Amino acid sequence: MNEVKVTINVNGQQVTATVAPEESLLDFLRNRAGATEVKCGCNKGDCGTCTVVLDGQTVKSCLVLAAQADNKQVLTVKGLEKEQLMQDLQVSFANHGAVQCGFCTPGMLVTAKTFLEKNPQPSRQEIREALSGNLCRCTGYQKIVDAVAAVAAGKNDK
């Protein structure tokens, strides 16, 4: 088992570490970069709680090896928080009661943001489809869809 040295830009900070070949990007982010806002839910790519942006692409970090992210940029919900669209989504999630326990929220927000960047005027069905890879056991999804739809419509109120 040969370890590999990787350098990953995480939210604007270069993080270098020696990792095992099988170490996931999720484990790297949480354990080496201190990005605990990235959650570990299923560790199988089913729940979406670990969703991040890797070189402009939305990925589930539990399915990506840390070595695959070498010399690449990763943005977590924290790295995106200064962007207006992310701020609008955060306010809308709060206003619409789309957050309960909050465990799914970081992945949900990252997914919603990248989706709205590609499709700024989606239908409710398109929003549901875009978020279908993110599981939430608390809200029943309606409030989450409402929150994303409100941002797309330019309204952050209820």
If you write DSSP's letter for every residue of 131-148 in order, what string do you get? TTTS--SSS-SHHHHHHH
The pLDDT value given to residue 158 = 54
Q: Answer for the pair 136, 108: CB distance below 8 angstroms, yes or no.
A: yes
The pLDDT value given to residue 155 = 75
Positions of the chain with pLDDT lower than 70, given as ranges: 1, 156-158
pLDDT tens figures, 140-154: 799 999 999 999 999
The pLDDT value given to residue 111 = 98
The pLDDT value given to residue 138 = 87
Structure tokens at 115: 């989706």
> Whole-angstrom Cα distance, residue 23 to residue 134?
22
pTM, full prediction: 0.94
The DSSP H or E segment spanning 14 is strand 13-19
The pLDDT value given to residue 1 = 66
Q: Answer for the pair 84, 43: CB distance below 8 angstroms, yes or no.
A: no
Q: Walk me through the domains of the chain, giving residue ranges and CATH numbers.
A: 4-78 (3.10.20.30), 81-152 (1.10.150.120)
The pLDDT value given to residue 140 = 79
pLDDT tens figures, 107-131: 999 999 999 999 999 999 999 999 9
The pLDDT value given to residue 139 = 79
